[in-house]
């Protein structure tokens, strides 16, 4: 019986959750190696960590690693629809993590759970979307002085934290895990790419081959989605506001357009911009009958869902994760996962193999923050390049892939400006 507070769906699901956690663990060799070292060194002894992450089997492996490193850990969800309830149960009963998360929780419960995690009086915060940091800075300011550092997993969260830093209101240092190359080059591109297409297919069972898929945003996530949709035979149109990225999309072989132009033609729309109001009322007005609309950005602001509701004369739920809105002219538009992260709401999020690197960055960044607490200022820091290199090296080794090593002469050549052709 757990001797700490928690709030989950059902403790009886723990055995099923444990099997899922063990299945993910098979594909997380870098994190397993870190865990083995943490077991010997206990670098997080006496640390209290408040984490707000998607409660998945991959996250459970990170939580286990932090516990083995000596930390006391509380965990809430970073999205109301992404919690795997069986995993939450196993975390409580098998790993001693104080989980406050239930799949499908309403907004009040979501924030109550964030506050419950903040009640731990954390030394370290760990965020996926800056919600714990946001709540601590907005309403739990008495906790700020006790926090050594935070970590942040997402592009969206890092943008917010940099805005806080620029306004001089960031109350403690934060390590931007998202900025690590071994994070965004893999998790955002291959993880989001695969899991978003997976979510759209699980929700709809639509055939992508021959369909027109419109991807809004050509950051690393958008690129991943566009590449994977193309790989399944879709005709992919990319929308991007940044001219450099738009040009890259053109030269990567995608059609580049505007939402106004693409709206009447798309079969499947997916947003991954990080910004609000990307698909709006005027776009719904011209979409094809049966158009499918989904979001892969962190917050549910990219699709103007209220505008869709306003236009609807009827709503039905033909399958889980689909709301089919019938409009006055008889067309229907299918919204997936209520406009929330489709890859975590309608599928299981990124595969373990890619979360292995993201969460290795989390674990090593926490260790770094604890060891360097005295030196850090109230700023947003990138993950130290040595950690990035180490994770890439460990991942290659786990994949049994050897790479060449520079000779002394080659190294000298690269650092010299006198040696010519």
**Which of the residues 261 through 280 are near ligand ADE (CB under 6 A)?**
none
Least distance CB 137 / ligand ADE (angstroms): 23
Structure tokens at 162: 């940099």
Binding mask 14-53 for ligand ADE (x = CB under 6 A): ---------------------------------------x
Q: Which helix (H) or strand (E) holds 315?
A: strand 312-316
* Euclidean distance between CA atoms 56 and 350, whole angstroms: 10
Structure tokens at 64: 């286990």
**Which of the residues 313 through 352 are near ligand ADE (CB under 6 A)?**
344, 349-350
- Among positions 56, 321, 332, 362, the unique one binding ligand ADE when judged by CB under 6 A: 56
Least distance CB 192 / ligand ADE (angstroms): 7
Whichever of 47 and 53 has its CB closer to ligand ADE, that residue is 53
Q: Which residue of this chain has its Cβ atom nearest to ligand ADE in the complex? A: 349
- Let me know: does 66 contact 26? Beta carbons within 8 Å: no
* Euclidean distance between CA atoms 49 and 74, whole angstroms: 6
Whichever of 87 and 259 has its CB closer to ligand ADE, that residue is 87
**Which of the residues 176 through 195 are near ligand ADE (CB under 6 A)?**
191
Confirm or reject binding of residue 355 to ligand ADE (CB under 6 A).
yes
* Euclidean distance between CA atoms 74 and 85, whole angstroms: 15
Whichever of 332 and 358 has its CB closer to ligand ADE, that residue is 358
* Euclidean distance between CA atoms 342 and 349, whole angstroms: 9
Which alpha helices (DSSP H) does 69-191 contain, by range?
85-95, 107-118, 131-138, 155-166, 181-183
- Among positions 8, 25, 31, 59, the unique one binding ligand ADE when judged by CB under 6 A: 59
Whichever of 304 and 348 has its CB closer to ligand ADE, that residue is 348
Least distance CB 149 / ligand ADE (angstroms): 20
Whichever of 254 and 359 has its CB closer to ligand ADE, that residue is 359
Least distance CB 297 / ligand ADE (angstroms): 12
Count other Cβ atoms within 10 Å, centred on residue 322: 18
Three-class SS state of 377: coil
* Euclidean distance between CA atoms 395 and 355, whole angstroms: 12
* Euclidean distance between CA atoms 148 and 377, whole angstroms: 10
Question: How is 232-252 classified by DSSP, letter by letter?
Answer: TT-EEEEE-SSHHHHHHHHHT
Q: Which residue has the tokens 């109350």?
A: 171
Residues 6+ apart with CB under 8 A from 342: 196, 199, 200, 203, 270, 294, 295, 296, 321, 336
Least distance CB 123 / ligand ADE (angstroms): 22
Residues in contact with ligand ADE, counted by CB under 6 A, come to a total of 10
Least distance CB 51 / ligand ADE (angstroms): 11
Which class for 246: exposed (0-12), middle (13-18), buried (19 or more C-beta within 10 A)?
Answer: middle
Whichever of 133 and 344 has its CB closer to ligand ADE, that residue is 344
Whichever of 64 and 283 has its CB closer to ligand ADE, that residue is 64
Whichever of 58 and 227 has its CB closer to ligand ADE, that residue is 58
Residues 6+ apart with CB under 8 A from 421: none
Least distance CB 55 / ligand ADE (angstroms): 8
Which class for 340: exposed (0-12), middle (13-18), buried (19 or more C-beta within 10 A)?
Answer: buried
Least distance CB 209 / ligand ADE (angstroms): 26
Whichever of 287 and 341 has its CB closer to ligand ADE, that residue is 341
Whichever of 56 and 321 has its CB closer to ligand ADE, that residue is 56
Binding mask 226-245 for ligand ADE (x = CB under 6 A): --------------------
Least distance CB 140 / ligand ADE (angstroms): 24
Site residues for ligand ADE per CB under 6 A: 53-54, 56, 58-59, 191, 344, 349-350, 355
């Amino acid at each position: 019986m757990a001797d700490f507070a928690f709030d989950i769906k059902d403790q009886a699901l723990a055995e099923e959750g444990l099997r899922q956690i063990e299945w993910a663990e098979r594909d997380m060799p870098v994190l397993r190696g870190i865990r083995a070292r943490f077991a010997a060194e206990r670098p997080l002894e006496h640390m209290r960590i408040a984490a707000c992450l998607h409660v998945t089997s991959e996250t459970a492996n990170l939580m286990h690693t932090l516990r083995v490193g000596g930390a006391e850990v509380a965990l809430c969800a970073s999205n109301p629809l992404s919690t795997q309830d069986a995993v939450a149960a196993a975390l409580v009963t098998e790993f001693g993590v104080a989980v406050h998360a239930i799949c499908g929780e309403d907004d009040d419960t979501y924030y109550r759970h964030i506050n419950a995690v903040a009640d731990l009086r954390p030394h370290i915060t760990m965020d996926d979307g800056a919600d714990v940091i946001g709540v601590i800075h907005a309403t739990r300011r008495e906790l700020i002085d006790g926090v050594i550092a935070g970590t942040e997993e997402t592009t969206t969260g890092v943008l917010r934290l940099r805005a806080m830093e620029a306004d001089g209101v960031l109350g403690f240092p934060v390590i931007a895990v998202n900025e690590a190359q071994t994070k965004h080059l893999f998790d955002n591109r291959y993880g989001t790419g695969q899991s978003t297409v997976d979510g759209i297919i699980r929700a709809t069972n639509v055939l992508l081959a021959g369909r027109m898929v419109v991807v809004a945003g050509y950051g690393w996530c958008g690129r991943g989605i566009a590449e994977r949709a193309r790989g399944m035979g879709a005709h992919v149109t990319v929308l991007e506001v940044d001219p450099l990225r738009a040009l890259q999309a053109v030269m990567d072989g995608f059609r580049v357009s505007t939402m106004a132009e693409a709206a009447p033609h798309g079969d499947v729309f997916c947003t991954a911009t990080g910004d609000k109001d990307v698909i709006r009322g005027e776009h719904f007005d011209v979409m094809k009958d049966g158009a499918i609309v989904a979001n892969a950005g962190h917050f549910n602001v990219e699709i103007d869902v209220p505008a869709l509701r306003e236009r609807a004369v009827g709503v039905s739920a033909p399958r889980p994760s689909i709301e089919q809105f019938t409009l006055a002219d008889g067309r229907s538009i299918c919204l997936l996962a209520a406009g929330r992260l489709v890859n975590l709401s309608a599928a299981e999020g990124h595969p373990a193999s890619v979360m292995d690197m993201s969460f290795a960055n989390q674990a090593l960044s926490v260790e770094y923050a604890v060891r360097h607490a005295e030196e850090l200022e109230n700023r947003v820091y990138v993950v130290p390049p040595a950690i990035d290199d180490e994770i890439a090296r460990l991942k290659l080794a786990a994949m049994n892939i050897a790479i060449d090593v520079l000779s002394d002469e080659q190294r000298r050549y690269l650092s010299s400006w006198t040696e010519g052709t």
